[in-house]
Amino acid sequence: MSGHFPPRRTNVKQGTLIPITIPRGTFFCCLVYAILRAKSNRKIQLDSSNQIQSIAMKKQLERIVTTTAFEYFIVALIILNGIVLGLETSPSLSERFHPWFELAHQLILVVFIIEAAMKITAVAPKFSRYFGDGWNLFDFTIVVLSLVPATGELAMIARLARLLRVARLVSTIPEMRLIVSTLVRSIPSMAHVLMLMSILFYIYGIAGFYFFHEHDPVHWRNLGISLLTLFRVVTLEDWTDVMYKAMELSPFAWVYFVSFVVTGTFVVINLFIAVVLNNLEKAKAERLEELQAPPTRETLLAELRQTQEALGKLQDQLAHATSETERRH
């Protein structure tokens, strides 16, 4: 029986023995297939386990960076960085504690790098979720600029980058982000107010030149100087001195200055404030809608797809574990 294994006897119900002959080549093929299949199942199991662990790690990182305690910790570091920068302006303190100040800067920078790495890892591979946010891009730019060496020709850039870390306080506190966003949104509306104020300045500038340039050439000798004088008046910085000088020419000159102060200061400036407050209310309403808005269809589909993938991997693992248990028994 060369080329075959010895017959294998199998018990049947009648108690008879039936010889079964298995070819050697078929046996080895089945053995190799079983080994490769076991390795493949093991690899699939490891890959699915690694993916589940990766998703769990990303969720954990996202929970950490969004906690209130973590935000307060970053705010405290930003404030500490600002205090250290202020202490460095003292020559005696800077000379005495310079190594400690540098150590504080390096430690704060390391924490900021770890924070950026955690936030980027939490959204990987969808990096647009991080870099698509202007505030995150602002923080990341500050971290990159902080890596510039604080010696040589780039020392000034490094010092400015350290100073910009204090500006991160704006991006860290939601209320301050809301105020900055409001100011940015108010720029288009402010353009019309600026246009109105420019017309007002131009009219009063030309009128002031014709009224007072011969009597007070220091403040009214040409249109440019007249506009600078009006800017001084509208800021209420010693504007009465200019008015009293003009009243030496005519006692009714106060009408010109008072009307400009009332129109330029109390009306136009209040228009600026009204525009900002109006946009602030709109920004608050939009932020409230974002917090209360239901999840979008894309978000629900993405979460459902992730859940289905996780369930499929668990089913594969369960089937593999069941087959292993049956094989042992």
Decide if pLDDT at 22 tops 60: no
How crowded is residue 74: how many other Cβ atoms within 10 Å of its Cβ? 19
Q: Mean of the per-residue pLDDT values for the chain?
A: 77
Please give the Cα distance from 82 to 139 (Å, whole number).
16
Per-residue confidence (pLDDT) for residue 5, from 0 to 100: 47
As a residue count, the chain comes to 329
Per-residue confidence (pLDDT) for residue 42, from 0 to 100: 55
Span 52-78, mean pLDDT? 81
Please give the Cα distance from 96 to 183 (Å, whole number).
42
Per-residue confidence (pLDDT) for residue 55, from 0 to 100: 73
Taking alpha carbons only, the member of 246, 206, 211 closest to residue 226 is 206
Whether residue 256 contacts residue 207, with contact meaning beta carbons closer than 8 Å, is answered with: yes
Confidence of residue 2 (pLDDT cuts 50, 70, 90): very low
Whether residue 164 contacts residue 145, with contact meaning beta carbons closer than 8 Å, is answered with: yes
Confidence of residue 21 (pLDDT cuts 50, 70, 90): low
Confidence of residue 48 (pLDDT cuts 50, 70, 90): low
CA distances from 316 to 16, 57, 119, 266, 308 (A): 41, 22, 32, 74, 12
Full-model pTM: 0.55
* Of residues 161 and 120, more confidently modeled: 120
Span 203-214, mean pLDDT? 92
Per-residue confidence (pLDDT) for residue 283, from 0 to 100: 73
How crowded is residue 158: how many other Cβ atoms within 10 Å of its Cβ? 18
CA–centroid distance for 156 within its chain: 25
At 11, give phi and psi (nearest 5°). -75, 140
Span 236-256, mean pLDDT? 90
Taking alpha carbons only, the member of 162, 167, 151, 152 closest to residue 89 is 162
Span 75-87, mean pLDDT? 87
